[in-house]
Structure 1
Amino acid sequence: MKFSTKAIHAGQEPDPSTGAIMTPIFQTSTYAQHGLGGHKGYEYSRSGNPTRTALEDCIAALENSQYGLAFASGLAAEQAILSLLKTGDHMVSCDDLYGGTYRIFERILSRYQIETSYVTAASTADYEKAIRPNTKLIWLETPTNPLLRLVDIRAIAEIAHRHHILLVVDNTFSSPYFQQPLELGADIVLHSTTKYINGHSDVVGGAAVFKDKEVYEAVKFYQNAAGGVPGPFDSWLTLRGIKTLAVRMRQHEENAFTVARFLSEHPRVEKVYYPGLASHPDHELAKSQMKGFGGMVSFQFKGTLEDVDQIVRRFEVITFAESLGGIESLICHPASMTHGSIPREIREARGLTDTLLRLSVGIEDAEDILRDLEQALR
């Protein structure tokens, strides 16, 4: 099946008991058993739920895998993947990454003497230089959050596998529609399904997809043991959102291109970050490993923090809020919102300044988005 067909049908056969076309919401915590071990595949909904199974199978199919797990949030999915590490292990990560991920690395993993080395996202050779004898995992975001740099997945996968290290790729910004990291050599793909996969800003969730069954089984054990799973209604909402993923992503990209071009010519904008622009330093890499450039645009505003505060108060169509990937346009100030957990000196050294704004371009009429940007920036 092609992508759009899988988004609608993978893991979602008509319900055998009723013929219902849409996957039912199995709103139950437990299941009747007929004698010792006499269950029908489900015992307790933390361990497994039919609605969640449909979601896990669908997301796995979109990443061209058989092994998917769903979680209560993107960070719950991250923590489950990180359960593969033990005290004394080391990992290598790109330096431009979501603030919540940095917080886990520096304030949770560090308690267990698990150290993280950070590498400039696009500096391929530096990942290998950062590897130590105890390095067990390489963690990538591509495009990165919020500066939208690209990491060469194929090249890093070759480095990781030569050193017998697992490669994890956070694919949230691209979605499986525009990028499929397992096909490029990654071992694990991570999603905050809150974002593009659900796409309607009405549910929080996460997912992990695996190339190898043994790694999948290890994380599945943690999923059940730690219990950070989505409920059946959250799973159902996410499944419903997935069905329109392809058409939404096409419109997100079309609008984002329009917005990026507009901002790149605006006198009050200093710099635009969008991999679809020929001026982007990773434009050629984006063309080679992505099927499109996504719906995220970041830009540096010419002015002060006080000017930024005035601008975000003026928006009428665009909403000033955290998160991304919904059908509506959202703009955020990473330094004080999504990346506020990263110390200021580290943020600024990585290029994340107080005048950076991150725009998740929605699927509204592009003219209305541009008009709103113009009046707010004026």
Structure 2
Amino acid sequence: MQEFDQAADRFSALTRAVRSGIDTDPANGAVVPPINLSTNYSFTGYAEPRGYDYSRAGNPTRQVFADAITALEGGSGTVITSSGLSAVTTAVLSVVTAGARVAIPHDAYGGTWRLFDNLARRGYCELHTVDFTAADTAAARLAELQPDLVFLETPSNPLLRITDLTRMSAAAHAAGALVVADNTFCSPLLQQPLSLGADLVLHSTTKYINGHSDMVGGSLTAATPQLAEEISYFANVYGCTGGAFDAYLGMRGLRTLHTRMRAHQENAAAVVEVLLAHPAVRAVYYPGLPEHPGHELAARQQSGFGAMVSFELAGVAEVKQLLPALHCFTLAESLGGTESLISHTATMTHAGMTEEARKEAGITDGLLRLSVGIEATEDLVDDLRTALDAVI
């Protein structure tokens, strides 16, 4: 491992992330770093802690995972949290104080919206929703609001709208705000928000980074050493850090992220073709389509269009006809696993939103979201086409 460490600078971030922790076990020479499940660590003597003392504050397995994500995002340090939402919580509570002005997308993920809405209701922050995809209007709105924190999500969940991270980060900074970007839908392989101006980037590592739907976790990466130190301190204070076993599973998944993302995206492109051609489908939302309003922007700031696809049927009756006819798409929440999933946004991922908020976000009762997995392309295409044919 010493030879790789010495030569690491000449390797890509991807290679460094995949090899993070490899062949670093001094005791037995384990190639894959072992899981360190210990709750606590002995001191060498009075007031002489070792590198770790208590696993909420620091854990060797979690650190390997954090280092890998830091490398991929091009950051200065990463905190591994117990969930994606605890990454959001850590970001908010680390960088703003009570009464702060916060701007979030008008179409934010339902769980994110619910968190900020509850913080606002309890008086912790003054909450404002902004359509960040309308860049000129959004920049003017930020200049007027002078927020302390701007939260961005691109592509958005579930309508896959694209926000100009460079433009909105600059506008937020001009207004005196810190910028947090949710990069879950892209993963670090397809987009690096820190390089586009964000101060913090977060993931639900439950999704593409882990990729196997068998853990819950999150990450928060800082652009600067000072910010990295702050989020690490507060994650420990608030008890938001993740467990060692979940970190091990996340690292295992991350090692195959680049291979899985290729298959995910190839299948997504094939699925989109089926949706576009079928008369039961009223609209398709996918940034890889040239007619998508954010297509050109996505092509500039992303290195791929991802594997999340949303589409609209006429209404609830049609949704109820489609779902039982599917066999390769499981009706379930979450995304980014090897298996293909379908969710009804209004009653599942965004059920925590008020009806008014869903309407403002453009979420209709006929909207469905696909997380396209890595099954055989022909099986996914055939299954979806057959199910759509059952919609009368």
Query: TM-score over 0.5 for the alignment?
Result: yes
SS in 2 for 1:91: strand
Partner Cα separation in structure 1 for residue 227 and residue 123 of structure 2: 21
The corresponding residue for 1:273 is 285
The corresponding residue for 1:324 is 335
Residue 21 of structure 1 aligns with an amino acid whose one-letter code is: V
Partner Cα separation in structure 2 for residue 344 and residue 312 of structure 1: 23
8 Å Cα contact 1:170-1:191 kept in structure 2: yes
Partner Cα separation in structure 2 for residue 16 and residue 162 of structure 1: 49
Say yes or no: does 1:352 pair with 2:343.
Answer: no
Residue 248 of structure 2 aligns with an amino acid whose one-letter code is: W
Deviating beyond 3 angstroms after TM superposition, the runs of 4 or more aligned structure 1 residues are none
Q: Identity over the aligned pairs, expressed in percent? A: 45
Mapping for residues 212-227 of structure 1, pairs under 5 Å? 212-227=224-239
Partner Cα separation in structure 2 for residue 219 and residue 127 of structure 1: 27
The corresponding residue for 1:80 is 90
Partner Cα separation in structure 2 for residue 134 and residue 143 of structure 1: 24
What is the TM-score with the length of structure 2 in the denominator?
0.93
Alignment deviations for residues 331-377 of structure 1 (CA, whole Å, 9 cap, x no partner): 00010000001111221232100000000000111110011111211
SS in 2 for 1:135: coil
Partner Cα separation in structure 2 for residue 331 and residue 299 of structure 1: 11
Alignment deviations for residues 12-33 of structure 1 (CA, whole Å, 9 cap, x no partner): 4521222111111101101111
8 Å Cα contact 1:3-1:246 kept in structure 2: no
The corresponding residue for 1:71 is 81
Partner Cα separation in structure 1 for residue 196 and residue 123 of structure 2: 31
1:56 to partner: Cα distance:
0.7
Partner Cα separation in structure 1 for residue 239 and residue 14 of structure 2: 31
The corresponding residue for 1:58 is 68
1:64 to partner: Cα distance:
1.1
SS in 2 for 1:139: strand
Alignment deviations for residues 151-194 of structure 1 (CA, whole Å, 9 cap, x no partner): 00011111122223111110000000100111111110010000
SS in 2 for 1:138: strand
Unaligned runs of 5+ in 1: none
Q: Which deviates the most, 217-226 or 203-212?
A: 217-226
Mapping for residues 1-378 of structure 1, pairs under 5 Å? 1-83=11-93, 84-131=95-142, 132=144, 135-301=147-313, 303-378=314-389
1:110 to partner: Cα distance:
3.1
The corresponding residue for 2:4 is none
Residue 77 of structure 1 aligns with an amino acid whose one-letter code is: A
Q: Which deviates the most, 102-111 or 68-77?
A: 102-111
Partner Cα separation in structure 2 for residue 124 and residue 10 of structure 1: 38
1:108 to partner: Cα distance:
2.5
Residue 252 of structure 2 aligns with an amino acid whose one-letter code is: R
RMSD value, Cα: 1.3
Partner Cα separation in structure 2 for residue 234 and residue 24 of structure 1: 13
Alignment deviations for residues 78-128 of structure 1 (CA, whole Å, 9 cap, x no partner): 100010221221011121111000001111343134122111231112333
SS in 2 for 1:126: helix
8 Å Cα contact 1:7-1:244 kept in structure 2: no
Partner Cα separation in structure 2 for residue 100 and residue 40 of structure 1: 38
1:134 to partner: Cα distance:
5.3
1:11 to partner: Cα distance:
4.5
What is the TM-score with the length of structure 1 in the denominator?
0.97
Partner Cα separation in structure 2 for residue 332 and residue 77 of structure 1: 23
8 Å Cα contact 1:88-1:134 kept in structure 2: no
Residue 69 of structure 2 aligns with an amino acid whose one-letter code is: I
Give the 3 Å change call, closer, same or farther, for CA 372–77 of structure 1 in structure 2.
Answer: same
Alignment deviations for residues 188-222 of structure 1 (CA, whole Å, 9 cap, x no partner): 00100000000000000000001012222221111
Residue 74 of structure 2 aligns with an amino acid whose one-letter code is: N
8 Å Cα contact 2:42-2:49 kept in structure 1: yes
Residue 332 of structure 2 aligns with an amino acid whose one-letter code is: A
8 Å Cα contact 1:8-1:242 kept in structure 2: yes
Partner Cα separation in structure 2 for residue 198 and residue 81 of structure 1: 21
Residue 315 of structure 1 aligns with an amino acid whose one-letter code is: L
Give the 3 Å change call, closer, same or farther, for CA 361–3 of structure 1 in structure 2.
Answer: farther
Partner Cα separation in structure 2 for residue 156 and residue 30 of structure 1: 43
Unaligned runs of 5+ in 2: 1-10
